[in-house]
Amino acid sequence: MSINTKSSEVEIRESRLGSNNEFKGTARELCDKSTQNKFCGRKRSFTQCTECSSSRALSMLVMIRDSAIINHAPLGCSADFAEFNFTNRGEQIRRKLPLKNVNLLSTNLEEKDMIYGGGAKLEATIRNAYIRFKPKAIFVTTSCASSIIGDDVSGITDKLESELGIPVVYISCEGFKSKIWATGFDSAFHGIIRKIVKPPVKKEKKLVNVINFWGSDVFTDLFRRIGLKPNYIVPFTTIEQLEKISEAAATVEVCPTLGTYLAAALEQEYGVPEVKSPPPYGLKASDQFFRELGKVTHKEREVEILIKQERKRISEELEELRDKLKGKKVYVCAGAAHGHSLLGLMNDLGMNVVGAGIFHHDPHYDNGNKKCDVLKYVVDNYGDIKNFNVCNKQVFELVNTLNKLKPDVLIVRHGSLSAWGVNLGIPTLLIGDEQFGISYQGILNYGNKILDTLATKEFVSNIAAHSELPYTSWWMNQDPQTFLGREKIE
Ligand code: SF4
């Protein structure tokens, strides 16, 4: 597989990786189908909600500290702007950075723009952003509306780039283009690799790119102990920092779904090796991750010491947690591949994984290396998982499934889902910080939080007793995947 950096637009996940978000079966069945390239979606004939690539692209771009972002779209596509700024301000406080709002504008496409075109408005907004924010780069994200009317966003950004003398980057991420919202991450990274990253001047032997969201800093200490330093990308970087990510000794990802495109592109274009391993969640994956990182950065000896020390440090507390959590039924609802990683972690805690609702599935990653296939790693190391559902957050399926499986605890990664577990009287744990579960300490973090969550059983049962679900027995008595169509094998 190779990344096409010549094209101004990213190739969507469906055609590039064969990704899909419709599957019912077991985890092993899904892995087998993926390996045999037989993973063909069973189209849902009904969907309740979804997310959009544009929002995922913005999530990677809006917190670059000295850039400006323009969403070339109607105002309705800006509904999540406030959420981005909320995250931005909260994380600035946590990082002790000066407090400022995101530099984020909308071109506010209206009815007349749909008829006469929105190009002039976009040009004016780019100039406005340049004067107002004095950015080092401007990113322009597209929308369904701008794409339907055929605005030449690529041509306009190229023209304004020459005029203003800073990168003005076209990010093609209109929502209707891909059913896999993670395509939006790729769109943002495609723009960064094409227009921002520069060829390396000198190599930084100790620097390791960490492609992440905006989680807590757990890598500085771990990497310091093996003589390395993390370079967290992309949120809260500067344009100058991004220009130099080609100089790093390696790239790691906290989630291959997030980082697959950028990591593969950095290796392909600039020879920065991508660490080919599942991310470090759970004991075995953490061992494997650090050993692979050690190989790439020639720190094998230091890594073995780290693994020995960390395993010893957590062993007693981990045994206690396992005693308390043994056999407790857990259901995981999260995005791929973070959700896959959590499945391994739950097994390490001795829990009984009764099922999973994972938001989409990538049968392959951009590097084409099976060592990064987290689901396969989990199945090979911990065994199969029944009730494995690939579902883009269709709440009607989730509520029906939970009602049938009745887990002791529900683990969710997206806030919009946590209320549903509670409404059913299931203690529910929402962890937004993906670094919370990283490495050896992350296993203890999760184990202790799950114990706290289990203690809420009476509280959530009371809430459930006073809640009315919007779904009637007509739906709750049916198969949760009733609306999945027949499988098409090509
Ligand atoms: S880009 Fe399309 S799918 Fe995304 S928010 Fe706007 S209208 Fe909705």
pLDDT tens-digit readout, 133-165: 999 999 999 999 999 999 999 999 999 999 999
CA of 56 from ligand 1 middle (Å) equals 11
pLDDT exceeds 90 at position 187 = yes
Q: Sorting pLDDT into bands at 50, 70 and 90, what band is 37?
A: confident
CA of 143 from ligand 1 middle (Å) equals 6
What is the structure's pLDDT at 283? 97
What is the structure's pLDDT at 49? 86
What is the structure's pLDDT at 42? 78
Q: Which domains does the chain have, with CATH numbers?
A: 204-300 (3.40.50.1980)
Atom of ligand 1 nearest to the CA of 173: 1
**Residues of the chain above pLDDT 90, percent:** 93
CA of 278 from ligand 1 middle (Å) equals 32
What is the Cα–Cα distance from 45 to 486, expressed in whole angstroms? 10
Q: E strands of 22-159, at which residues? A: 22-25, 67-71, 104-106, 137-141
pLDDT exceeds 70 at position 317 = yes
What is the Cα–Cα distance from 482 to 22, expressed in whole angstroms? 12
CA of 282 from ligand 1 middle (Å) equals 36
Atom of ligand 1 nearest to the CA of 79: 5
pLDDT exceeds 80 at position 125 = yes
What is the structure's pLDDT at 36? 80
What is the structure's pLDDT at 41? 67
pLDDT exceeds 80 at position 374 = yes
- How confident is the model over 423-452, as pLDDT tens digits? 999 999 999 999 999 999 999 999 999 999
Is the distance from the beta carbon of residue 52 to the nearest atom of ligand 1 less than 6 Å? yes
Q: Which of residues 114 and 34 earns the better pLDDT score?
A: 114
* Exposure on the CB side of residue 480, measured as CA atoms within 13 A: 25
Q: Sorting pLDDT into bands at 50, 70 and 90, what band is 487?
A: low
Q: Which of 47, 52, 178 to mutate to test the pocket of ligand 1 (most atoms within 8 A of CB)?
A: 52
Averaged pLDDT of the chain: 95
Nearest CA to ligand 1 atom 6: 77
Nearest CA to ligand 1 atom 7: 144
**Residues of the chain above pLDDT 70, percent:** 98
What CA dihedral angle connects 39, 40, 46 and 49, to 10 degrees?
A: 50
Q: Which residues of 357-377 are buried (b: 16+ CB within 10 A; e: fewer)?
A: bbbbbbbbbbbeeeebbbbbb
What is the structure's pLDDT at 50? 85
Atom of ligand 1 nearest to the CA of 143: 1
